[in-house]
Each structure stands twice: as structure tokens, then as C-alpha cells.
Structure 1
Amino acid sequence: MDGLPAGVAPSPGEKAEERYRALAYDTALSTLAAVLVYALLKVSLDGFRQWRARIPVLVVGSGPVGLTAALVAVRSGKVLKLTVLDERCRSALLCRPQQIALDPRSVNFLLGLGVDFDNMEGCWHNEHFFTRIGVFQEYLLSILEQKKQRVDVKVQLGTKFTEEYLRRIPHGQRPRVIVVADGSCGDTCSALGISSDYTAESCHAYGANATIERLDQRQVPTPEIRAHNLYFDLSAYGVEALRELRNPGSKPGFHLKIYGTFRNRYMALTCPASDTKMVRFLRHTANSSVMKNIFHQSFNAYKTDIEPRLNDVTLHSLQCSRRLFEIQLSHRRVSAAYIEGDNVAVTVEGEAARVLNFDTGCGVNLGMRGLESVGTLIYRTATAVDQNDILEALAEKMQHSRQVAETCKHTGLVEAMYG
């Protein structure tokens, strides 16, 4: 034996100690092997469980954001059954002529969901895609129809979400995730008991909107027109803007956007918050014709060459803000919730979650930002081991929603108007 002189046999105590060490070593090896087998088995079983996990998902609202949310759900790979509800009928949804402009970030997001813009009526300009709301919705509905081969997809148009509707669903088939995208006037959140409190925050800018409908014009997608650093001749009202412009410390002028189809034309005018004479006048003037004249002149100056000018006959159909107003973003304080009794995770998206009081045509893009984390929420809810996992996923979803609102407040107008 090592450590003993040659020819000297170990004592009985030493033999017992040696056997004890050998036994302890064998026991440690056995325990380690058992732990490794258990860990490997658990990882395998957890992986198999996560791979097999599928849950029912309900989307309330079939506007552009709601239908995109439905596509996100299908693409998550964790949906057993997808139901889309909307109280409006199909014809009321698809006939809407309003134009939407999908910015590059939204385009890339939709490309990742399998949207093929080459097969959708619309046009491209500066990496933006312009189409009508009805066309976009019809395309997404057609994609969802194709997904029925792999996922149980049910689109129920003309059906309103109520507490009674939820109670009628058999317990084993109730949704584990509800995506609320029924717009700023929807009452689904109220039916689910989610607080209706909103936080309104300034975007540090002033703006005004105008719209005109000309029935003799075409209802086709049209690129946006943008003009920057504009000043207006308001000398007839006693405001000398040119003198302000010559001042070294003068603030930048106004930004103008003309968008929509030739038939339904929209205009947005905005400027960063300032206290110049012109801004003060346009914020407080009681003369409602001032803004109409500004929009009238702006449209005729920057319209496309192939559309007619506004004249005295068509001017009466121009509707616009009476004066400049402060641009604010309102966002829901509670944008995600957990219904404990039914074990349901709820997320609020689109204009049901956040909305500008200033229409720039960018509402759909703002809604798309919130959807970027919906797939993760569905995946984590489907594979959750316990309630804490779901609550953690909802906390991260709320954090993302707050970040979307914060980013929009600081850079939303830069992307939609100033750029």
C-alpha cells in the first residue's frame, strides 16, 4: 500500500478507511450520474413540452393592427386556436378608403411575418409603402385563411366581445392570451375590467389638420408630399413673420405633409413648440379663416402636378382645425393585465393603447411598434411553468409598451413629419 513501508500490512482501521473512501467515491459518482441523467431528462422533457405547447388566442378587433396581431400569433408557432372578433361586418371593414403609409420599420416587420407587398395594391416611395386600409385588411384576411391548414383560425366578423361571449366559451377552450385592438373607442378593456386611465403627455410641438374630399378624383394610393421650414405671410393679420425669420435666433418654421388618395386628401401642419409671434397668433386667434387660408395656399403650392388646385368653389369643402393646438400622446396606464381566475394574459395594442391627438397618418406604424413584443408574450405564456412566468412576461410587455410611448413622444414627429 502507498504510504506504508515495504512488507508492512495495513491495519484493520486503515482497511476500513480505504473501503469508506472507495464507497464515498462510488456514491459521489453515482449521485453525479443520477443528477446528470435527471438534468438531461428534465431538459429534454421541458424542451418537448415547450415544443408541444399550444394555447388558444383571441384577438379583438380586425383593423390593420388587430389583423397583424393575428398574423403575429400564427407565426409564433404556439397557437392551438386563433379567434378574431370584430363587431363590424366584412363589407364595412374592407370598403374603407383611407390610405395608410407603412414606414420602413413597419415594412420590415411585416416582411418578417410573410407579407408579400408585390401582391398588394399600393405604391412605394422613399422605402414607404402606401395602400388603402381596406386593401391591407383584405390581404391579411387572405393570409389568415391560408393558415387554416396549420392552425385552427376562426374570423368572426359582426360579433361583439362581451363578458357573456367569454363565459359561453367552454372552460378548456378559453383563450390564454387576449389581444385587445378595438381602437380608441372600443370597450373591450372595460368588459375585461382593465382600467381606462390614460396618461397624456406633450410632444413639445403644435399642430393643425385639414381634410378635403373630392368625389371627381381617383381613389388610388399616392405617395406623401412633405415640405419643411415654411413661413406664412400673415401681414394682413398684423403678424410680420419675415422679420422673425431674419432674426439670428429664430426658430425653425413649419412642417407640412399632404397625404391620402387624390379623392380623400389630408394635410398636417406642425412646428416645434416655440413662442414666436406667428405661433402665438396661430394658437390663440379667434379668426377661423386663418388656418383655412394657410392650408389652401399650402396645398396649391405643394400638390402634385396632376391634381387640380383648390379654388373658391372647392375651398368650401376643406375642413380644418380652427387654430394650432398642442400635440399630445395619450397612452393607457395599464396596457397589459392578468386575469387570475381564468388564467388569461391580456395585452392592449394599437389605438386602444396609445393615440396622438394629431392625425399624421402614422397611427398604424405606432400600433406596429407595440406588436413587436406580442409574439414573445404568446410564446412565454404558452411555455410558462407557473403563474410567475406569465406575470414576468406581462411585466416585460408593459415595459415595452411604455418604451413605445416614450419613443413616440420624443421622436414620433421627427419620423412622421420633420424628416
Structure 2
Amino acid sequence: MLGYSHIADGTRMENTADGFNSSMEEKYRALAYDTTLSTLLAVLVYVLVKVSLDRIRQWRARVSVLVVGSGPVGLTAALVAVRSGKVLKLTVLDERYRSALLCRPQQIALDPRSVSFLFALGVDFDNMEGCWHNDHFFTKIGVFQEHLLSILEQKKQKVDIKIHLGTKFSEEYLRKIPGSDWPRIIVVADGSCGESCSVLGISSDYIVESCNAYGANATIERLDQRQVPTPEIRAHSLYFDLSAYGVDFFPAGRESQNSQQATVKPGFHLKIYGTFRNRYMALSCPASDSKMVRFLRHTSNSSIMKNIFHQSFNAYKTDIEPRLNDLTLHHLQCSRKLFEIMLSHRRVNAAYIEGDNVAVTIEGEAARVLNFDTGCGVNLGLRGLESLGTFIYKTAIALDQNDVFEALSAKIQHSKQVAETFRQTGLTTTMFE
């Protein structure tokens, strides 16, 4: 009995030990599970809090922006900045006074893409002097600038906007800015003759590329005509009578009726644009080595191009415009001969001023210039602004310099793409179609 009792007690002790071990394992598993769950919960809470704080930080992030230049591109850049929702303070500078800006009579043509872009910024074309034709909007530069300035005035209730006309951007101006008021972003839009880039120490080197076309320009100023916006006139497949100069000819200012001849020799494209008082003409053709093109590129007779523009204007002008005659021909000024159409764009079109923590982007004719006036030059400048809003947003929420560099890199790539696209297809849409 004692032996049996001893064995039973041993078995009970073993069972008790096994039960104790199982209980401990369950407790360890429960503890591990609780620990894992707590850790996951802590990580989840951390992530949620961090994401929330990041979103709050991004939502509250605001930067100070300085726009240099109050031309069509500069004022549009100011609207883009306000539209980004990331601007605490916006300053617009221009060394010209308001009267000098608003009296500019030159006409601009906004293509459908630019119209859509501007409409999204709040531009009200229905309340702007101008006219529509083929989904293009034609108005005077001064009228366009005045409308943009009025929009900016309305935005002052939401954003601290300062417009300083008659103030030049210079080293002296920068020295007067307190360190705490330095802009985080500077948009340079002071034109091809502006000095802002040199003030900021940005290289003035340009990349010059051919658009594979030749062109010539002419202007007519007649003070007795109206200063109102008018649709542009386009004519294609033009050939000119140069037989007097020993060159094979087609009827002057007329479209060729011989389709076979038209395929052999490249035709010219003509655009007449501007107001009746300030008329502009652009003549262009794809690059070729035809006898006529060679002759017009190298002729030393300055009267040839004048005669071509004279006859072309009289052939394609509107019915209500007076013709040019021998007495009024002195109003016509034009290129002496055909020249190669070139696009120049800055090698450095965005930069970072490290010591002052300022990101700089260059827009409009300060960034890229065409040596041939097509009448749609503003559109080329507005193309570059299509990525400005994203650039401002990314710069505003940047955590460090690497984030700013990424924003600058994307802006640089877009600017290069704008230049390349125009070089490849720009004349096709503005002149050849």
C-alpha cells in the first residue's frame, strides 16, 4: 500500500508539474500576444498620429513668394501662386509704373490650352475686352494685365499680397529685406532683357536650337486705324513671283492651284495679326534648300521682302481695312531677308540659393526666347507655368533640402520639355496649321 501510495503521489506530482508548465506556457503565450498586440497598437497609433501631424503640417505649411516682373507671365505666375493655397505672403515687383503697363497696345492671342489654364485660375474672359475666333481669345496686353491685377486685388482678403510697381529688383532691394522676411521662392519673369538672374548670380548661358524653319516679320503702324483686338488671318501654300530676279515663280500672294508643283516646292505660311492700328505679319516656311528659299535667305536687295509683305497684306487683309499703296508703303517695316528660326532657352532655369534657403524658378521670356514673332509668344511662357503650382506646393511642404531639390529637379525637367516640345511642334500649331 505504501508503495502504491508512493507511486500515486509521484504521478500526481508529475501531473501537477505538467499542469503548472502548461499554465505557464499559456501565460507566456498570452503575455507575448498582449505584448505583440500592444506593440502593433502603439505603432498604429504612432503612424496615425504622425500621418495626422504631417497632414496638419502640410495643410498649415505656407511660404513667402516673390514674383519679379508684372507682364502677362509674371501676373499669371502670381495667380498660380495664390491658387496653390501655400502662399502666406506674395510680393510682385516691376520697375515699370502702372500707367506704362496698362497702356501697352500690343495684341496677344491666347490659344485654347492657355485659355483653359487661365480659366482655372479665375480669369473671366466674358468681362475682358477682346474677341473670340476658333477658340482663341484675342486682347491687348494692357487689358489682360489690368484684368489680372484686378483679380489679385480681390485675393488680398485671403493672402497678404503686395504689388510694388515702379520698384526695381536689385542687390540694394535684397539688402533691405530683413532676414526673417526673405522669400522662400522667387519667380523671375522679367523678360529676356531683365537683370534679375544676374542679381541672383544665376548663369546667363543659353542653349540655342534650330526650329528647322525660316521666317521673316513685318509691322505696319497706321495711326488713323482702330486700336481694337481682331482675329488673326492665316494663309498657307503661298508662292511668290520672283521672276524679275531670275527665280521660278508662282502667282504672288495666291495659293498654288497646281498640287503637283506644291508638293515639289515648299510653300510659305502667312499670318496677319494685331490690331488694325498696329498690324503684324509673320512669314515662314519649313527649312529647305529650294532655289526660292536660298534666294530669299541670301538676297541683299531689301525691297524684295517688302514687296512680298506688301502684296501678301493686300491679298489677305480684311475687307474693311484699307489697302497698302505706294503712298502708304512707308508705314511697312520688315525683315530684309529670311532668317533661320531659333529657340533659345536658359541652361539654368531653376536654382537653389543655399545660404538663404531660397528656391528660384525662371519663367517666360526670361527662360526661353524665340527669335521669330508668331503672335502667340505669351502661350509659350504660360506653358512653363503649368508646373509652377506643384513646384510651390512641394517646396512649401518640404522637410529638408532634398525635398526642395526634388521639386527643383521636376521643375527643370518640365521647363526643358516645354522648350523641346515647342522646338518640335510649336511652329506647326502657331504657323503651319
Report SS of the residue matched to 1:241: coil
Choose the corresponding residue for 2:430, options 410, 416, 419. Answer: 416
The equivalent residue for 1:162 is 170
**How far off is 1:314 after superposition?**
1.1
Q: Partners in 2 of 1:42 and 1:252 — Cα distance?
A: 64
Q: 1:223 aligns with which of 218, 228, 231?
A: 231
Q: What amino acid does structure 2 have at the position aligned with 1:200?
A: V
State which of 380, 384, 388 in structure 1 corresponds to 2:394: 380
Q: What corresponds to 1:362 in structure 2?
A: 376
Whether the 8 Å CA contact 1:224–1:259 is kept in 2: the answer is yes
Whole-angstrom distance in 2 between the partners of 1:251 and 1:74: 51
TM, length-normalised to structure 2? 0.93
Letter of the 1:76 partner, please give it: S
CA contact (8 A) 2:237 2:262 kept: no
Bigger drift between 309-318 and 197-206 goes to 309-318
Quote the residue 1:4 is aligned against.
Answer: none
Matched with 1:41 is 49
Runs of 4+ more than 6 Å apart: none
Which of 403, 407, 417 aligns to 1:389? It is 403
Separation (CA, whole Å) in 2 of partners of 1:242 and 1:361: 27
Q: Which residue, out of 115, 118, 121, partners 1:110?
A: 118
**Match of residue 315 from structure 1:** 329
Greater shift, 164-173 or 265-274, is seen at 164-173
Q: 1:248 to 1:93 in 2, by over 3 A?
A: closer
1:329 matched residue in structure 2: 343
- The answer as to whether partners of 2:266 and 2:288 remain within 8 angstroms in 1 is no
Task: Show CA shifts across 1:336-380 (max 9, x none).
Answer: 101111111100000000010001111100000000011111111
Following TM superposition, by how much is the alpha carbon of 1:11 offset from its aligned partner in structure 2, in angstroms? 5.3
SS at match of 2:156: helix
Aligned to 1:196: 204
Aligned residue for 1:175? 183
- How far apart are the structure 2 equivalents of 1:288 and 1:147? 52
User: Deviation digits for residues 244-265 of structure 1, max 9, x if unmatched?
Assistant: 9755851430000000000000
Aligned positions of 1:93-104 closer than 5 A: 93-104=101-112
1:219-257 Cα offsets, whole Å, 9 max, x none, are 000000000010011111100134997558514300000
Does structure 2 conserve the Cα–Cα contact (< 8 Å) formed by 1:94 and 1:135?
Answer: yes
Distance 1:88 1:247 in 2: 52
What residue in structure 1 maps to residue 4 of structure 2? Answer: none
Cα drift, residue 172 of structure 1: 1.6
Q: Tell me which residue corresponds to 1:119.
A: 127
How far apart, in 2, do the equivalents of 1:341 and 1:28 lie?
47
Look up the equivalent residue of 1:59 and give its one-letter code.
V
How far did residue 164 of structure 1 move?
2.2
Cα RMSD, aligned residues only: 1.5
1:417 is paired with a residue of what secondary structure?
A: helix
In structure 2, how many angstroms separate the alpha carbons of the residues matched to 1:241 and 1:387? 63
Displacement of 1:162:
1.1
Match of 2:68 among 60, 73, 91: 60
CA distance in 2, matches of 1:224, 1:192: 39
Give the structure 1 partner of residue 8 of structure 2. Answer: none
Deviation at 1:145, TM superposition (A): 0.6
Query: Which letter maps to 1:299?
Result: F
CA contact (8 A) 2:193 2:366 kept: yes
Q: Are the counterparts in 2 of residues 241 and 277 from structure 1 also a CA contact under 8 Å?
A: no
Letter in 1 for 2:213: A
Q: 2:295 aligns with which of 281, 285, 288?
A: 281
Q: 1:128-147, aligned counterparts within 5 Å? A: 128-147=136-155
Cα deviation, residue 167, structure 1: 2.3
Q: Give the fraction of aligned pairs with identical amino acids, expressed as a percent.
A: 79
Asked if the contact 2:239/2:268 (under 8 Å) is kept, the reply is yes
Q: Which structure 1 segments of 5+ residues have no match?
A: 1-6
Tell me the alpha carbon deviations over residues 260-297 of structure 1, each in whole angstroms, 9 at most, x when there is no partner. Answer: 00000000000000111110110111111100000000
Q: 1:302, CA displacement in angstroms?
A: 0.1
Q: How many residues align?
A: 413
For structure 2, the 5+ residue unaligned runs are: 1-13
Question: d(CA) in 1 for partners of 2:70 and 2:100?
Answer: 11
Give me the TM-score of the superposition, normalised by structure 1.
0.96
1:24 to 28, 32, 35: 32
